[in-house]
Chains A and B, each alone.
Chain A
Amino acid sequence: MSEIDPITLSVLAGRMEQIADEMDATLFRAAFNPIIAEAHDASHGLYHAVSGDTLVQGKSGLPIFVGVMSFAVKAVIEKAARDGDLEDGDIYIFNDAHIGGTHLSDMRLVRPYFRDGTLFCYLASVGHWHDVGGAVPGNYNPAATDVFQEAFNLPPVKLARKGEINQDIIDILLRNTRLPQSAMGDLNGQLGALDLGVKRMDELLDEYGADTITAALEALGHRAEALMRSELTDLPDGRWEATDYLDNDGIIDAPLKIQIALEIKGDEMTLDFTGSSPQCAGPVNIALPTTVATAYVAIKHVFPALPANAGVMRPINVIVPEGSLLAAQFPAPTGGYTETILRMIDVVFSAFAQAAPDRVVANAYGTINALSIAGTKKNGQPWVMFSFYGGGHGGSIETDGLNHGNAPISTATIPPMEILEAAYPVMFRTWALRPDSAGAGAHRGGLGAIYEIEVLEENGAEAFLFGERGRFAPKGIAGGGEAAMNVFQYEQDDGWHSPQLASKMRGIKLKAGQAVRLETPGGGGYGAAAERSVDAVALDVARGLVSEAEADAIYGTKWREGTA
């Protein structure tokens, strides 16, 4: 194999990353459903021909996909090896979350890329489809106790053979979704993105030759590994532990433990999740690919400059105990995977904070709070308002945490209140920051939010919530304080109530004029509260972000001498 000069390597790194970016852009533009088109819940990349490892990935897709895509490719490699019939022009499709990670809404397409009759690499596309069957429209079923109640399950199968699309597969897909047009539009978009990827790879290989590109891919892997090792070398050796909990699994009301021991030795690191709770009945289980991918996401938040390349993971050993909820076995439900991976990221940050507090931020709000309010209008038309809600980010060595941010695993924005009010018979009484929700600290956390939503529909409505952090608060780091916990309440004839499962409930009936109220957690604080400047505390109090009573209790009364 030819050696590659560092300049050509720099150029090729950009060129290949751009192929993935252009595939992203192609799908965003063509996708029918807004989850892909607007929230960019999709991703594309290039993967190793033998191992399936990530070589290059686009920059605009969701963070969680950066780690998870190679599992889709690995699954296809295994399938092709079993069947022994991999050919140029084949395209595989599947959504099985136990094989490919995340959840069943994510449809994965994998296409082998051949050059001069030889397999050169794989191209893959993943996108969140609007509906893939199952018990609940949109596939977020908090009561699911197996995957069959969540959606239809498609293992890796050939959508195309030698460039010829198998219409049978498309017919099966479209018969299993409530929104066939949307599914077909997204499928066409993903196929278009793969076509573009093939075209761009052809051009690149024509220009540079297969040997140079192969050498560049090899070198980029080494470089990613070298970067990771260099970062680890800069950190002290040692072993640090952290533990946190999920409130419950939505079925059985008992806390679930997520535990980590993080060990750094020279230029290598181990993330050992031994001690985490066993697989559970409800949908907060996650499959092994999701767990490994989440480790990657957490690490990339700690070292943002790392490339999306599997070389990063070579010096990292992820230990996941068998039988745990982090290595759930088919057919355990995984629809609520977001809550579990957010907690994983929290414990990774908490462990890192002991090694190098300046490198990480304190815990973010730690729950996506999937809230749906649904009913039937007087004219018989059913409606479902489904959204995720924001909370505070953690403080860091640089600044206070961000108020009302999005989840670390996503970059999606929240729909405007006015769009929701125009589409559904509801009115937001409150859409505001939540005072006293931030974890205290030299740099306090960001504030969570208060959303109070009144039902206007005469027929009333039902509310469903899948949230977390109702019993265990987001943690601070480097001596910073905990944030406020998630609080959910709903209005009935006799006043306000809270759900038995803290932040999870289903089918609560609301009359017109009654409301639900969600108070989301803030972020944890960074550094000791005593180190916060009196002026900063005085300003928080003057702005009403921290109450006088809380300021006195946490920061002492000295702030009263500060200047706001």
Chain B
Amino acid sequence: MSSRMIGVDVGGTFTDVFVLNEAEGTASVAKVPTTRPDQSSGFLDGIGCEVQDLSEIAVVVHGTTAGTNALLERKGATTGVICTEGLRDVLEMRRRDRPRTWGLRGDFEPVVDRRNRLEVPERTLADGTIRTPVDIDAVRMAAKTLQDQGCEAVAILFANSYANTANEDAAVAALRKVWHNEHVSASSEILPEIREFERFSTTALNAYLQPEVSGYLGRLENALKAGGFDGEFMIVQSNGGVMAVDTACRLPVRTALSGPAAGVIAAGYIAQSSGFENIITGDMGGTSFDVSLIAEGQSMLSPQTSIDFGMVVRNPMIEITTIGAGGGSIAWVDKGGLLNIGPESAGSNPGPVAYGLGNTRPTVTDANVVLGRIDPDNPIGGKLDRLDLTAAGRAIDEHVGAPLGLSTVEAAEAILRVANSRMAGAIRLVSIERGFDPKRFAFMPFGGGGALHTGAMLAEVGIARAIVPRYPGVTSAMGCVIADMRQDFVQTINSLVDTLDETALGTFMQAHADQGMALLDAARTKFEARELSFELDMAYIGQTHTVSVPVSVKTLDGKVTAPTRAEIEEAFDTAYRATFGRLLQNGVRRILNLRSAVTGKRPKFDLSALAPTEGGSRDPIGQRQVHFADTWHDTAIYDRLSLPVGAVIKGPAILTQPDTTVLIEPHLRGRVDPFGNTIIETSEDVS
């Protein structure tokens, strides 16, 4: 009986595997080193740790950084562009921005070389009128030139194609006949939305990634099949939903934030199961601290992101705010005598001084080692045998202690204070920008280092409790198993509400619903429910920024009934008032875009599968000296995974597990909830 569901998250250092055995109601995790350059062998090794016979697996869901890495390292395919006459340089001109506000330095190389950006006669106007029909012979000639120049993928980028796809349709049809592989994209297929740079950039990056990502996913799928796997292989998208592997090969740009998105999805589910609807997640890795906000059980989506300067991907993505304060962030004293953390980072290689791999400047992790918060004899992750406590202390002395006149321990505390303050600042700002009071939220740390800083986040932000997931180091892999299947669609409408063609709007909605449902039908996974949701980007005429207006739409047997103008106006007024407090008298309402989402709800597994088994031990497994504030404390060490449900551990204490260290500071206590999560709160208000 093939009943295992497997989530695999391939990160920069480790490949994490989460295995759910639905039949037995159990779960297990594995962590193996990521293999390079081909990640597939680490991927299979990780699965092999837990499952010998791949035919027992029903579903494999993969959170991947293959696309992101290919973009950051510029390792995509040689790509060609065929575009409207006069618009050859849109990709290179961007939206007239610059890499950094101050200093005016830096340049930009687009992923498509100017020699591979060719113009053809064609022009569509903003209202959809074809002013110049596309010259198909010119398209064929351009294709020939691009092939001769070694292009492996090609994108058609025509002005105003969101308003009328005819010229792009004709060009792409002709191109597909002559192009030597399947890597042909048209901007109106990838993103039929107004704003040429964002549409062109998303389409060109998609083309650039297609050969690389589809090759990687194809290799993985073949290897799985060769091992006897006969289940369904799916990929996590940046929006936090999963898609079939063939969709991912066609739309690789949608995997840009695949892994982190899966982590947030898991965080939301874990929190909700434990009764927390509002949480702020903090994922602390080697180079960064990533913050995300989940309100009323909903993670925030942002409409686009920049993978790097000028590399814009416009697709709904889980909103994740990153600051450069990770375990590897370097502490230094500037010329004005002020202690700073980052943005420079030692990352995970060479990593902190304590790793002994060549870095000599102190990091946040080194401070945690010196203060006894990290056990130098049992480093997490299993990559190193032990950490060099002496070297960490020496580096802190030299670079922070001496310039500021502090002892080693004082300097280490100082590093943590400044780092914690910056992390807390990120949490406050993310909340404020979204209009939330962070005090109403619980904090959920994950990643290798987040749980060391929990107490500081509670104190600095004024948050009442934190929830540490049972397996904080494999949250993204777990999210792969939890995520729903989801497809997003967009279509620019660009009409005043007064003159809206309701039938045309209904036709777009129906087309989005049909395409989305067809993708769900094609999946082998059973869905508990299917959901359709529609939003309109709207504004008053004269405003360029829009508000998202959810519209409730009736569906019956797959037939969508479009909303009336009056319903749209009412929905807009509600959303506008909620955002800005007041309506504009006599304002004329305008619709810019339709956004549709089709979601197949996957069955959720019961998180109590992760709960501690009966008969665990509440007794410490050891003790060591840990420094808090201004003094050393005798601190009990517990084996976290063997603590039973309901166990309450008073701080100061350290809970250890293979991939994470959980720190409970002196004034706090930790409680094991029915799912094995640790709830950390102040000792006084535990009821």
- Residues of chain A whose beta carbon lies under 8 Å from any beta carbon of chain B: 6-7, 9-11, 13-15, 18, 21-22, 25-26, 29-30, 32-34, 37-38, 63, 181, 185, 188, 223-224, 226-227, 230-231, 300-301, 304-305, 361, 364, 389-390, 393-394, 396, 398-406, 408, 411, 413-419, 421-422, 427-433, 446, 449, 452, 456, 542-545
Contact = CB atoms under 8 A, between A and B. Distances in A.
Contact of A32 (B107, B422, B580): B580
Contact of B102 (A25, A230, A301, A364): A301
A419 B339 contact: no
Contacts of B433: 25, 29
Contacts of A544: 114-115
A413 B95 contact: yes
Interface centre among A7, A300, A390, A446 (most CB of B within 10 A): A7
A399 B105 contact: yes
Interface residues on B, range: 35 or more
Nearest to B426: A18
13 contacts: A10-B340, A11-B417, A14-B421, A15-B421, A18-B429, A227-B336, A230-B336, A402-B104, A402-B107, A403-B92, A413-B95, A433-B89, A456-B125
A415 B96 CA distance: 9
B86 A432 contact: yes
A103 to B, nearest CB: 21
Contact of B114 (A6, A418, A456, A543): A543
Shortest Cβ-Cβ A-B pairs, 4 listed: A390-B96, A304-B102, A223-B336, A304-B103
A30 B581 CA distance: 9
A398 B107 CA distance: 9
A124 to B, nearest CB: 19
Interface in B182-221: 194-198
Contacts of A416: 95, 194-198
Given A7-B418, A15-B425, A417 B102 contact: no
B93 A18 contact: no
Interface of B: 86-90, 92-108, 113-115, 123, 125-126, 131, 159-160, 162, 194-198, 334-340, 404, 406, 413-414, 417-418, 421-422, 425, 428-429, 432-433, 435, 494, 543-545, 580-582, 584-585, 587
A224 B338 CA distance: 10
Contacts of A38: 544-545
A462 B86 CA distance: 23
A433 to B, nearest CB: 4
Main secondary structure on B side of the interface with A: loop
Nearest to A306: B102
A6 B103 CA distance: 28
A406 B97 contact: yes
Contacts of B90: 417, 431
A185 B543 CA distance: 13
Given A405-B96, A417-B159, A422-B126, 7 more contacts: A6-B338, A6-B339, A181-B585, A404-B89, A406-B97, A421-B126, A430-B87
B88 to A, nearest CB: 6
A398 B105 CA distance: 8
Contact of A390 (B93, B104, B196, B545): B93
Contacts of B585: 181
B428 A227 contact: no
B580 A185 contact: yes
A14 B584 contact: no
B560 to A, nearest CB: 26
A432 B428 contact: no
A300 B103 CA distance: 7
Nearest to B123: A427
Contacts of A421: 125-126, 159-160
Contacts of A432: 86-89, 93
Interface centre among B97, B99, B197 (most CB of A within 10 A): B97
A29 B434 CA distance: 8
Contacts of B103: 301, 304, 361
Contact of A11 (B86, B106, B421): B421
Contacts of A433: 89, 92-93
Contacts of B100: 304
A399 B106 contact: yes
Contact of B104 (A231, A364, A427, A449): A364
